[in-house]
Structure 1
């Protein structure tokens, strides 16, 4: 019985997707490019389409020039940005630029060695690569993913020997939490923060994505881009996600392309409609709970018992605040066997990070 139901489900799914993709093609959109993965690959392989991050990139380039003259120093530039702010893209631009000025760079993702231990074979292989290649620049992305980042950075610096320019990327909440420990290993030369885009920069981003998915055939009205900016608050990945979901909402309602109504429906589905009210209504304890969910390296989320230990509160208090966050659609709950894990909803994560970072002094508990 279930097998026949599954077959019927697949027929319905394929039929619906076929209709949607045909609808996109009718708008001049290449349906094969209509995905976040395709856009990320496009941005990764085409650094020249970077929307204005000139000031941030020039800051890094100046330190690259300084280091190239005086390679005996250890310099550290942390790139800070909320989830979806384009940190990886900026690092890829820097990596590509390094070869243009004759500097050897090694790019690595801290998520790959997030579980390293002293005798980890994978990490030893990475250290050996550093010893052999002797890069001028070490680029380490997603440092918040590594529970042993202090150890990892120390060993990378030791493996290089003498001087090195280290460029790292961090969620700003994690950086504030880890900074003192990291600076025992390597002092911060300068922090570079990736601010959310302005309305004009969001317009440029959406215009470039629209051109990519339609081979230059599609133009998005300025008022639609302004509405995307209003809901996304200029966070690049949120803006792109909202842009794509706007097309799906338009298709479902029988529209002829993305418009203001479709963007608003998509924003509602993503939980962005009353975001200011939602964030401003969070209590101090709820913000502390959210902070420690962010700081948890477990991809499944955090268990309530762990929050009880960290916050030194009783289980009933922690459970109450988690239930409030769950009912407000700020977090999700996943049950694995007897255990429940809580995570911040992906679409809301960057906004929570930004709120906590801007008020970081208060929420250091």
Structure 2
């Protein structure tokens, strides 16, 4: 399977630089096999059924981009914090060649220091952090919201890069399929008899790393931390027993659900790291429908949705989206995908 099979033509003008004026008034492309419907996101309620379970990712983006210096040389260094625990962190370093084991970096005139303790692949570095106080408060003061590199406009309201249900801080990027929901729309969905339940997956390098190999099978996914509560596990297992649909909001929720089902054969309260790579040929185990944005060419995410709906269906839908000037990527419009006709539950 070649990475170029997942390429498509996308005019740069269709890459959304700012969020839609109102979250739920973005466009929605409803995809049912080769049948396509052009809607607005607030119409999603018409495609959710009483008894469905809507799974959202309640991760919250932190101010994970830091700009500092290497004191002995004055070199400028940019860090993107991918994961942290206590006083250690895994980071993507912009000019990684200048950061070796033992290198000390300074941020905010000494408010935060980072000492490199290890070197990983493709610009990854591991650090011991030195600071006084609460780390997330220091990040809020010194860091910046880590918007994707294809967004060049300044974000006026930082909350527009957070879902309205974001809660658990730790992501280097937003689970963007959830950006379209408002509190009012979520209440309407609940009133229709649909259960909304959270999982947590902290979005990391898997979102930023492009597929650089020609053969898809040679791509290695980066680990991303996930959590599932007992309450969510019970809701999902009960839904499966009663053959009710599980609708995942975004590929982050998809990866969490499929990771847990692949490992345990059921949903359960657990915490771990997901490095699942889903591409055509994958045997689906958990998810019946997906709400998702439009993804980058040759990305692992377009491979995931191609596996779910069928590559021919996704090719057809994306051509329609381009021809009809849908907005793409993080601040763009969305799709609703039902599973292709063959049963996927094992």
Normalised by the shorter chain, which TM-score bucket? under 0.3
Which is bigger in relative contact order (C-alpha 8 A, separation at least 6)? 2
* TM-score with structure 1 setting the length: 0.25
TM-score (norm 2): 0.25
- The structure whose residues are more often strand, as a share, is 2
Structure of higher CA gyration radius: 1
